[in-house]
Amino acid sequence: MNQYDIPSVELLRQQAEWLAPARARVLRKVGIGWRRKVLDLACGSGAVTEELLRRSGGEVAALDCRQNVLAVDPKPFAGAGRVCGDALSLPFADCAFDLVFCQFTFLWINACSAVKEIHRVLQPNGALVAIEPDYGGMMEYPQEIAAGGLWLNALTRAGADPCIGRKLPGILRQTDWKVEVDLLNRLTPPSPRRFALLEELPLTDEEKTTLTRIKAADAALAESAKVVHLPMFIIIGERMI
């Protein structure tokens, strides 16, 4: 399976909406209002591009490796430059940007290679903002609704790194970055839509049966009886030199 075929456009939009409060806080922290050259890395269908345009007041380039996704709807990209390209070989000059933003991106790509490319295209004192999950630390209660094992197996099978959240700060610190890490600290009611991406992943027949059982148990429980928390690393990396 080509990992770049997932998640679907609709799930990317839902994901962006779910992360909106955390994204707003971290973008304020890096001074989004005075950033003038911004890269929306692995932008998908532009779920965050419009926000970056509005809040930065500068130029925004929106890059994704999927031409078909970039062409889904031109409205979110109005005013931005759409670029079809590879995050591991960015088609931009050195020091082209003062801010690079991405979410759920390092999950799917070679983080070490991507960090080197992002470092190259960032200006000195430019910032990388990355919001990345860590499925290895999922907290689920009660046990009958726990799907953490399915996530780990299916994401790995699809070519992703389900524990990238905990790894990325160290990868950044190996090069010339000043790194600041925060965690999403809000527990929200679990949505039944959380299984949608899992269903897009390559599951074995046995895992599909297990997921059906988990979904039935989840539907039978009151919202107040469930806890589901996916640790989310909110990372700011500042290029020092």
Which domains, and CATH codes, for the chain? Answer: 9-143+161-192+229-239 (3.40.50.150)
What's the pLDDT score for residue 6?
A: 65
What's the pLDDT score for residue 197?
A: 86
The stretches in the chain having pLDDT less than 70 are 1-6
What's the pLDDT score for residue 155?
A: 95
pLDDT tens per residue across span 144-156: 999 999 999 999 9
H or E element at residue 124? strand 122-133
- Measured CA to CA in angstroms, residue 207 lies from 137, 144, 150, 211, 214 at distances of 20, 14, 7, 6, 10
What's the pLDDT score for residue 31?
A: 97
- Tell me if residue 160 falls in helix, strand or coil: coil
pLDDT tens per residue across span 117-167: 999 999 999 999 999 999 999 999 999 999 999 999 999 999 999 999 999
Q: What is the pTM of this model?
A: 0.94
R_g over Cα of the chain:
18
H or E element at residue 238? strand 232-239
What's the pLDDT score for residue 2?
A: 45
What's the pLDDT score for residue 176?
A: 82
Phi, psi of 69 (to 5 degrees): -75, -40
CA distance 99 to 114: 15
